[in-house]
Structure 1
């Protein structure tokens, strides 16, 4: 039951991150702090229910270290790194690794599409033109979440 609750909290955080990222090109620290608070509460619940919490603590370190590499090469922002650390706390090391791998694929596909669009500097939507700049990696994370958990739902 705690896994379902944690997955729901993770989804809420990712949708919130997408909303903030699209609006302001940043993931605010209040989102990260809220996620850490929720993650620690879930750790306490897991601990009292006899579940092993090491997987989730390791998940934080895995999420942080995996994304830190991409931050160093300036492929993602600091908010994306912190978000993955929070998601690792909620989801554990196996799911955060799956989420990272799939987000790299969804991010790559999105990046290629955006590069094609940026060739002209704008995308046509009906009669209006929308200027595009930068890359919202939170969107790739949301797509990856849908793929990872959609697959788990269908297979299990």
Structure 2
């Protein structure tokens, strides 16, 4: 039975991932999520059912529009695959629980803001405002810690990035995002998430600069790294922190 549930949740994640791509691309541009229907941005051809199967359509068409041959951005299948994989991981880790639901919603938020930030260098307030009340309600029922842990997580996460923003090193979208992520993962998970985000961001940015794919002073979206750090902390934070404390002790 477990394997069938796992398959269903993965397929659900893949399908929702396709929708999350639409949200991440259209909301920052001020476009409707419903109109126009999915179409090729180059030739305007309306996409058929065969073009809308998550990941599979991209592979079958070899990453090109079937009508005009325009290259389809890799961001589309990656967003779908990431959502499916994250939904599966959350289920395997937490099962059908409030924590598992919270993890799936965290994954959903992460995919949407990653698509948006990579495409527009923007984390839309509309997206954050949609998720804020959901997490405000869910987290108190999910957590085993006193609620103060999550309040401290939100204050420290948003506070650290606000200081960086005041010195021009961060956008306010990142500040609001990390305050929300801090509320979800709490203290001290938010500190672990920040260090993971910085380390991963520095590593990826360094590789991209060495390869000449981005300029030395070219701004790099930080939202995806914050989301990555929060996901790792949510999934494995207690184990990582416990291992670190054992090592230094």
TM-score range, shorter chain: 0.7 to 0.9
Structure number with greater Rg is 2
CA 1:154–1:107 in 2, change beyond 3 Å: closer, same or farther?
same
CA drift of 1:61 comes to 0.3
Find the counterpart in structure 2 of residue 86 from structure 1.
180
Kept in 1, the 8 Å contact 2:185–2:230? The answer is: no
Find the counterpart in structure 1 of residue 229 from structure 2.
144
SS in structure 2 at match of 1:93: coil
CA 1:43–1:58 in 2, change beyond 3 Å: closer, same or farther?
same
Is 2:105 the counterpart of 1:9? yes
User: Structure 1 regions of 5+ residues with no counterpart?
Assistant: 122-132
Residues of 1 paired with 2:209 and 2:104: CA distance?
Answer: 32
Kept in 2, the 8 Å contact 1:58–1:92? The answer is: yes
CA 1:153–1:4 in 2, change beyond 3 Å: closer, same or farther?
farther
Kindly indicate whether structure 1 or structure 2 has the higher relative contact order, using CA contacts under 8 Å at least 6 residues apart: 1
Cα distance per residue 1:52-88 (max 9 Å; x no partner)? 2111111110111111122122222111111000111
Higher strand fraction: Structure 1 or Structure 2?
A: 1
Corresponding pairs, count: 143
Which of 95, 111, 133 aligns to 2:205? It is 111
Kept in 2, the 8 Å contact 1:56–1:93? The answer is: yes
Which of 40, 43, 47 aligns to 2:136? It is 40
Give the TM-score of the pair, scaled to structure 2: 0.49
User: Structure 2 regions of 5+ residues with no counterpart?
Assistant: 1-96, 243-249
Give the TM-score of the pair, scaled to structure 1: 0.75
- The farther-off stretch of 99-108 and 71-80 is 71-80
Kept in 2, the 8 Å contact 1:63–1:93? The answer is: no
Find the counterpart in structure 2 of residue 99 from structure 1.
193
Higher helix fraction: Structure 1 or Structure 2?
A: 1
Which of 169, 192, 213 aligns to 1:75? It is 169
CA drift of 1:9 comes to 2.1
CA drift of 1:143 comes to 3.5
